[in-house]
Amino acid sequence: MLYAQTDPAAKRAQLRERLASGELLRVPGAFNPLSARLIQDKGFDGVYISGAVISADLGLPDIGLTTLTEVAGRSQQISRMTDLPSLVDADTGFGEPMNVARTVQTLEDAGVSGLHIEDQVNPKRCGHLDGKAVVDTDTALKRIRAAVAARRDPNLLIMARTDIRAVDGLDVAMDRAKQLVDAGADAIFPEAMKDLGEFEAMRNAVDVPILANMTEFGKSELFTTTQLSNIGVNIVIYPVTLLRSAMGAAERTLDAINADGTQQAVVGEMQTRARLYELLDYESYNAFDSSVFNFTLDNHF
């Protein structure tokens, strides 16, 4: 009932323990708190909170227009609804190193288990678009050092994302990843790798966990969990997958209403009332206070 029973410190410790096992963690992106509950219900290993999804949810492109307040607010809403650890996209840290430090503590207060800071310049853009620009090495390292110094819970995962592959090539990306690890990064997010061999090269270049971004319509192929696991990738995210699926279904429903004057043709594709109530755990609220929920779902769909 209400929020998750596992506190943020325990979830951070859980994430660290799972990463230490060497297994591949599957972390879909939640576009709202309810979808985070669904991710947990389906047996996944964590919840990703995508900057692109937060931007899209606000009707904005993913070019650095969101604020720390908006990202922290949505991070808290999602993180508190699931017992799974959550990993949030903190973009460039929302400013200079002191701003990065504040970002880390604000997101820590929001209950996340980890976050990643990237090395793009402001205004940043989606990692799978062309025309990206990255900061110099000194600036990138200062961001990570500030993030590491600011955290209060040592189990909060500080991940460094590097977008330099698309700008200067794989060899430079591996060198930067090593420097980011030396600066204190607990994990590396190498963005926009072009093939499995590049992921494997990055895996061999650093001795910390690495993340693979399996976003649709991007630079990388959509590799399977078996392929990624076989080369030693530790985390795979599906950042916008659920939002795209939900918006695709919403478009089809609106098209059906326009075409038929009713949604009847697509009702069979919808989540049922019973399933929604199951995810929302109506029964627990009923047990707590029968005045809140005092009917059954028998004969309902």
**Angstrom distance (rounded) from CA 215 to CA 286:** 39
| Phi, psi torsion values for 143, nearest 5 degrees | -60, -45
Please say if 116 is a catalytic residue.
Answer: yes
Sequence length of the chain is 301
Task: Evaluate the CA torsion angle 142, 149, 184, 229 in order and state its sign.
Answer: negative
Residue of 37, 45, 62, 163 marked catalytic = 62
Please say if 91 is a catalytic residue.
Answer: yes
Residue of 45, 89, 119, 163 marked catalytic = 89
Helical residues (DSSP H) of 32-115, grouped into ranges: 33-41, 51-57, 68-79, 97-109
Closest C-alpha among 202, 194, 205, 188 to residue 128: 194
Q: Do 161 and 116 meet the contact criterion of CB atoms below 8 Å apart?
A: yes
Residue of 74, 116, 128, 165 marked catalytic = 116
Residue of 161, 176, 203, 244 marked catalytic = 161
Q: Do 221 and 192 meet the contact criterion of CB atoms below 8 Å apart?
A: no
Look up residue 92 and give its two tokens: 């460039």
Please say if 62 is a catalytic residue.
Answer: yes
| Phi, psi torsion values for 239, nearest 5 degrees | -65, -40
Residue of 12, 45, 125, 126 marked catalytic = 126
Please say if 118 is a catalytic residue.
Answer: yes
Residue of 12, 45, 48, 234 marked catalytic = 48
Residue of 45, 119, 163, 191 marked catalytic = 191
Residue of 118, 119, 186, 198 marked catalytic = 118
Tokens 């009923």: give the residue.
Answer: 286
Vertex 27, ends 22 and 32: CA angle to 5°?
Answer: 155
Residue of 45, 91, 186, 198 marked catalytic = 91
Pairing between β-strand 86-89 and β-strand 235-238 as defined by DSSP bridges:
unpaired
Closest C-alpha among 216, 214, 211 to residue 224: 214
Vertex 149, ends 105 and 66: CA angle to 5°?
Answer: 40
Please say if 300 is a catalytic residue.
Answer: no
Please say if 26 is a catalytic residue.
Answer: no
Which positions are annotated as active-site residues? 48, 62, 89, 91, 116, 118, 126, 161, 191, 213
